[in-house]
Structures are given as C-alpha cells and as structure tokens.
Amino acid sequence: MLSVSESEHIKAEKTLHTIQSEVQSTNKIALSVDCVIFGFDEDKLKVMLIRSDLKKYHGKWSLLGDLVKPNEDLDAAAYRILKQRTGLNDVYLEQVHTFGSITRHPAGRVVTVAYCSLINVQHHKLKITDNELHWHDVKNVTDLAFDHQEIFDSCYHRLQKRIQEHPLGFNLLPKKFSLRDLQNLYEAILDVKMDRRNFRKKFFTMDFLIDIDEMEQNVPHRPGKLYKFNYEKYEKNKKKWVGIDF
C-alpha cells in the first residue's frame, strides 16, 4: 500500500509530496500509550492494573492505556491517562519503550508506547473505588493480557536500574520520610536486603537529605527522624558518570 523505497537501489530522500500521500493513505497503524503506574504502600511496591474486557483476555489484568489522539503529543496522552485514572497532575513520568509486534493486539495493528510512572499513593485514594481498577503487589504480577507482561517487565527493570542512578524513589514516598521508609523502598524495588548502617552512611554522604527536625508519629517503637529530599542541591551537584564497568 505504501509506496516506500522498497526497490533494490537506494534512492535519495523522499519528497514532501510523496510522504504526504503516504501519511494520508489508508491502512495506517494505530498508536496507543500504556502506563505502568507504580505505587509504594505498606512497604510493598505496587502497580495499578485494570481488568481487561476483551473476551480473548477475559479475567486477565492489563495496563492502563488508550489510543493517542491525532493532535496529542505522546507525553500528553500518557499524562491524560494518569489524570483519568489517578486524578493526579504532576507525577513522575518517563517513556520506556515502544512495542510494535504485528500480532500484539487482537484488533489489528496497534503500536504502543510504554510509560513508567511513579505516584504517591497517599495523594490519590479517591479514584480507585472502581472495582475493576486495583493496586497489585508487583511480586504477584503474572500473565497479564496482551503483551502487557512484557511491557510491565521492561518498565519494572527500567525502574530498578534508574532508581540506583537517579533520585526517582522519592516520588513514591511522602514528602517527609524516615530513613527506614527510604530503605524499605529500595529493598522493595530492588528485591534485596541492605545493611542499615551502610545504607544510612550512603545517603548521608550524598548529602541530599534535609533534616527537618521532626520525628515519626504514632509508631509502636522509638520514632525515627524525618527528612526531605533536597532536589535543588541535587540538580546543582549532579554527577558526571565516567566509569567502565560490566
């Protein structure tokens, strides 16, 4: 259908006219956005899923997504979905990967751009009353609809990697948090146990935590100090990574 340079010889770049006719021809590929929305609750990493209504995937869980509108930027589409589903406006959002296998969607050719989002579960609460929308412990996420398992896996791995190199994690925590909260977060995301003393040393040495001189309330043990993350200081002092290691 598309009159693209399928010929053997390599020709120069297409003319505007050629492209325009291609763009306006039929048989196009549909484009969607899927969001992997992570939350952190009760010291567990969670992901927001919705039940699929497609017969083919009856009863299976799937990611939150929608088609991209003709006049909508990709990021805008992702933010729209987040707003719809969580009611939240300013959330961490990162494009991760685009999935375009021909057979990935039963309705036809739908290419989807996957986004990873981190939200503070205490900030939304409301919109989750819908019975088909639920937080799932990431440890129990298996067998999602479509190719959503693969999409979820890619976003989870991206999160695991990036949280070690950038201060994303704070998006999942309340503004004020204890060092124990922070460590629980890292342990949940990376699925490892860490030494409490070395963990603290690490973050104190980085020097991006602000001691706000408050203590935990209503904990059944000695309360810990609360901290905020100093984004400004971090932005100023960002590292220039150089170090070969594989």
Q: Rounded to 5, what percent of the chain is helix, strand, coil?
A: 35, 25, 40
Which range, of 44-52, 109-117, 161-169, 223-231, touches DNA by CB under 7 A? 223-231
Applying CB under 8 A, among 43, 58, 90, 106 the residue interacting with a second copy is 106
Binders of a second copy among residues 45 to 74 (CB under 8 A) are 50-56, 62, 66-74
Torsion of CA 144, 145, 150, 151, to 10 degrees: -100
Buried b (16+ CB within 10 A) or exposed e, 14-28: eeeeeeeeeeeeeee
Would you say 179 and 198 are in contact if contact means Cβ atoms under 8 Å apart?
Answer: no
CA distances from 120 to 31, 103, 117, 168, 176 (A): 28, 35, 10, 12, 12
Judged by CB under 7 A, the number of residues near DNA is 19
E strand or H helix at 214: strand 209-215
245 lines the binding site for DNA (CB under 7 A): yes
Q: How does DSSP assign 174-188, residue by residue?
A: -SSB-HHHHHHHHHH
Of residues 8 and 245, the one with the C-beta less far from DNA? 245
Which range, of 67-75, 117-125, 158-166, 176-184, touches DNA by CB under 7 A? 176-184
Q: Which does 179 bind (CB under 5 to 8 A by kind): a second copy, DNA, none?
A: DNA
Binders of a second copy among residues 186 to 225 (CB under 8 A) are 186, 190, 192, 202-203, 206
The least distance separating a second copy from the CB of residue 222, rounded to whole angstroms, comes to 25
98 lines the binding site for a second copy (CB under 8 A): yes
Applying CB under 7 A, among 22, 180, 187, 228 the residue interacting with DNA is 180
Applying CB under 7 A, among 88, 179, 203, 234 the residue interacting with DNA is 179
Residue 148: DSSP 8-state: H
Selection from 85, 82, 103 nearest residue 93 by Cα: 82
Question: Which parts of this chain interact with DNA (CB under 7 A)?
Answer: 178-180, 195-198, 200-202, 219-225, 243, 245
